[in-house]
Amino acid sequence: MSAGTPTGKKIVATTSLAGCFGCHMSFLDIDERLLDLIELVEFNKSPLDDIKTFTKDCDIGLIEGGCCNDENVHVLMEFRRRCKTLVALGECAIMGGLPAMRNTISLQECLDEAYRLGPTVADSNPGRIIPCDPDIPRILNRVYPCHEVVQIDYFLPGCPPNADLIWDALTSLLAGKELALEYRTFKYD
Amino acid sequence: MTSPEIIETIIARYQGDETRLMDILIDLQDELGHLSSETVVQIAAALKIPQVNVEQTVSFYHFFAREPRGVYTVYLNNSVVAYFRGAAEVAAAFEEAAQCRFGEVSADGVVGLFQTACIGMSDQEPSALINGHVFPRLTPQRARELVEGMRAGWTILELKGTGFGDGNNAHPLVRALVRNHIRVPGLTVFGEYHPGEAIAKVTQMSSGEVIATIKAASVRGRGGAGFPTGMKWEFARRATGEMKYIFCNADEGEPGTFKDRVILTERPQMVFEGMVIAAYAVGARQGILYVRNEYRYLHDYLESVLEDMRRRNLLGASIGGVPGFHFDVSIQFGAGAYVCGEESALIESAEGKRGEPRDRPPFPVEKGYLQQPTVVNNVETLCSVVQVMLKGTDWYNRMGTEQSKGTKVLSISGDCDRPGIYEVEWGFSVRDMLAMAGARDVQAVQVGGPSGACIAPGEFDRVLAYEDLATGGSLIIIGRHRDLLRDVVLNFTRFFREESCGACVPCRALTGMAQRILERIIDGKGRAEDVEHLKSWLGIMRYNRCGLGQTALHPITSTIKNFPHLYEERLDQSDPRFAPTFDLAAALEDYAAATGAGTE
């Protein structure tokens, strides 16, 4: 696999699967360091530059969110194929997070509540139709953390991981240094 | 009587004492069939304790039923050896005849089918408990006949038919189909013995002399840990407390172990006499024999033995004519929980609570039952004590090895011609034991039950002794034709997951995770790093509070060590970047069922 630019910049891709974009927002919280970052890396597929499909192989893939539908799975597998190193960014990517709260409830029950029996359904969905169309993703039986689908190389904890942590992790990874993950960085109470 | 009246009567039977909650619940379940939410509320009100205190005890033990479990409740053993002997076929026959699945009650409410862990009958599997009575050596045909009998309303005795077992299994107060299978009677437990002689001798000595004798004989605990018995007694004697207690631990729940059942059937006087000697040495006034619920069929018989000993002044006031030496024994039954074999959990259970091991220190010898100094000894240890006092330390020390004196009663089961009880001197090699039991073409031997070690033929020259293969006394022989991981290791791993009390996080969480990983290795979807994880968890498990948690991964780690090829040959070799266990089509099945979408 070849990656990197002619100028030696590492190439980074990011995505948000079954997440809330909170981890990406936290990423943006590195603020003016973004300017330093783009000196170090080039972004490929990512919501940051709105590149929708990979145009080249990448060095680092940052994954926010777990997999709740088949599109998430395909995107995650594509990331695995195109990125040398995959980082699960935040609680949902690592453990499934908030979306995984539905894992104790059957999918049928979830769909019934959302589209057929819930108190707001009468007006919004008079036909009591459960959406199903080739254009929309199909929902999985449960929410899967990323490592149950592909190999994940690093896990960055937090909901979201704070900006400093993301910055430290990314720069360590780029410099090939080990990151000292201190207890306070993932202790929230 | 209405159920509130029954509850009142039974609680009065135990003087409204909340520490007798186990007895109260056991009796009530006998009367009412199950313990409903209303019953729980009424018990709490009558005992004047919070409802949750009753709730937590009821929910802890698997023989306590919240819902009706049938007029006849079948608990079929699901242990490794039961499956070796055809438990799966017997289970299928039960389901077909009863027209319900395991975990359910038949539509007419007559037959309830449930599974249970090893019931101490590994030498006569497959076996089941039906309304508390043992039905060993089952066949599919016998299972169908039993269900027919239940439908016809037969009594338990009618269901048993004739053919009671040997020895005291045929005693009028036992009438069990169980067989002793004492293949090799040894000199200690099954040696020459006349009840009362040891008490007569001991009461001529001082308590210090008794402890000195037990120390000189190097008697060590037979439950598995091998703690020096004399030292334990000494600690308890020195401890201060208003009351001191002697417990006999007869909760043997380690799958594959059944020696205590045979000892309690054939040598109960010896066990009780051992408790009297311990009481004399320690200065205890009360003893409790804690017996697993699976052996409740011995209840009336054991009570009659106690009664007889009281009549002969071997129990009760001024025992052996010694003024002031008062000691009596009562029997406490468990209700289905392996962890209660751990001494502090056993004490908690005897106090009417969940059988959760305590933090130590303090140890039971300082603060045990009701926070008083308590000695907990294994059934076999107490038998050894009696013989040492009768025949002397020299006699005892002539048997065994340097660090392991005397004899050991072994429960041998699995793939061999002569499963049963073997009392041998410590120091026998595994190879000798296999020859005695008539085992051929052996793949592995599980020594000391699931918490012990699974050893390969290369180690069969190792000897049974505290200094080499320490064992609480069971050997399960596993033939060449078995799938060791699927038939044995997975069964043991499930057992520990089921029996974890849940107090310590590593035990509660890792037993479940280990089971899932093992299942995927068996399915050919495990990875080399899975095996590494399992190995590394052993260190974390050491932080668990009790022996169950500390050893719960032994079935896995000991086979990884001794049979690495069984893991390696099953590992997945596909592209390591993608998880072999994830199946997109399977993950889409629920959505397809709800919407008619495809799973391609």
Tens of pLDDT along B353-363?
A: 999 999 989 99
pLDDT digit string, tens, across residues B185-224: 999 999 999 999 999 999 999 999 999 999 999 999 987 7
Beta carbon pairs, A and B, within 8 Å: 57
Please report the ipTM that was assigned to this predicted complex: 0.93
Check if the beta carbon of residue B189 is closer than 8 Å to that of residue B270: yes
Q: B389 and B344 in one domain?
A: yes
Helix and strand numbers (H, E) in chain A are 7, 7
Domain-located, residue B551 = yes
Residue of chain A nearest B592, judged by CA positions: A138
Superfamily of domain A10-99+142-186 in CATH is NADH:ubiquinone oxidoreductase-like, 20kDa subunit (3.40.50.700)
Would the pLDDT of A4 be above 80? no
Q: B338 and B310 in one domain?
A: yes
**How many structural domains does chain B have?**
5
Q: B465 and B504 in one domain?
A: no
Residue B532 CA to its chain's centroid (Å):
31
User: CB-CB: which of A139, A148, A149 is closest to B591?
Assistant: A139
Kindly report the CATH number assigned to the domain that includes residue B527.
1.20.1440.230
Single out the residue of B234, B326, B231, B229 nearest to residue B276, CA to CA. B326
Helix (H/G/I), strand (E/B), else coil: A73: helix
Task: Test B596 with A132 for CB contact under 8 angstroms.
Answer: yes
Helix axes B51-60, B37-47, angle to 10 degrees: 130
| Residues linked to residue A14 through DSSP beta bridges, in sequence order | A62
**Using a CB-CB distance cutoff of 8 angstroms, which residues of chain B are in contact with residue A85?**
none
Report the 10 Å Cβ neighbour count for A40.
14
What is the reported pLDDT for B69?
96
Q: B207 and B318 in one domain?
A: yes
Instruction: Provide mean pLDDT across the span A135-155.
Output: 97
Q: B393 and B378 in one domain?
A: yes
Q: B425 and B386 in one domain?
A: no
Residue of chain B nearest A73, judged by CA positions: B584
> Which residue range(s) make up the domain with B225?
184-397
Q: Is B213 exposed, middle or buried (0-12, 13-18, 19+ CB in 10 A)?
A: buried
How far B578 CA lies from chain A's nearest CA (Å)?
4
Q: B8 and B43 in one domain?
A: yes
What is the reported pLDDT for B436?
96
Task: Test B587 with A140 for CB contact under 8 angstroms.
Answer: yes
- A-facing residues of B in 569-588 (CB < 8 A) are 576-579, 581-582, 584, 586-588
Q: Which helix (H) or strand (E) holds A78?
A: helix A70-82
How far A27 CA lies from chain B's nearest CA (Å)?
26
User: CB-CB: which of B578, B586, B597 is closest to A138?
Assistant: B597
User: CB-CB: which of A108, A111, A141 is closest to B587?
Assistant: A141
Task: Test B579 with A150 for CB contact under 8 angstroms.
Answer: yes
Task: Test A141 with B591 for CB contact under 8 angstroms.
Answer: yes
> Is residue B590 within 8 angstroms of chain A, CB to CB?
yes
Q: B477 and B541 in one domain?
A: no
Instruction: Provide mean pLDDT across the span A131-158.
Output: 96
Domain-located, residue B413 = yes
Q: B189 and B229 in one domain?
A: yes
Domain-located, residue B356 = yes
How far A71 CA lies from chain B's nearest CA (Å)?
11
Domain-located, residue B599 = no
Confidence tier at A2 by pLDDT (50, 70, 90): very low
Q: B120 and B50 in one domain?
A: no
Given a cut of 50, the residues of chain B with pLDDT beneath it are: none
What is the reported pLDDT for A3?
60
**Residue of B595, B599, B600 to mutate, interface with A, max A Cβ within 10 Å:** B595
Domain-located, residue B423 = yes
Single out the residue of B393, B342, B386, B382 nearest to residue B500, CA to CA. B342
Would the pLDDT of A1 be above 60? no
What is the reported pLDDT for B181?
97
Per domain, the residue ranges of chain A are 10-99+142-186
What is the reported pLDDT for B262?
98
Cα B261–Cα B265–Cα B271 angle in degrees, nearest 5? 85
Task: Test B588 with A142 for CB contact under 8 angstroms.
Answer: no
**Using a CB-CB distance cutoff of 8 angstroms, which residues of chain A are in contact with residue B574?**
none
Q: B103 and B29 in one domain?
A: no
Q: B115 and B82 in one domain?
A: yes
Kindly report the CATH number assigned to the domain that includes residue B373.
3.40.50.11540
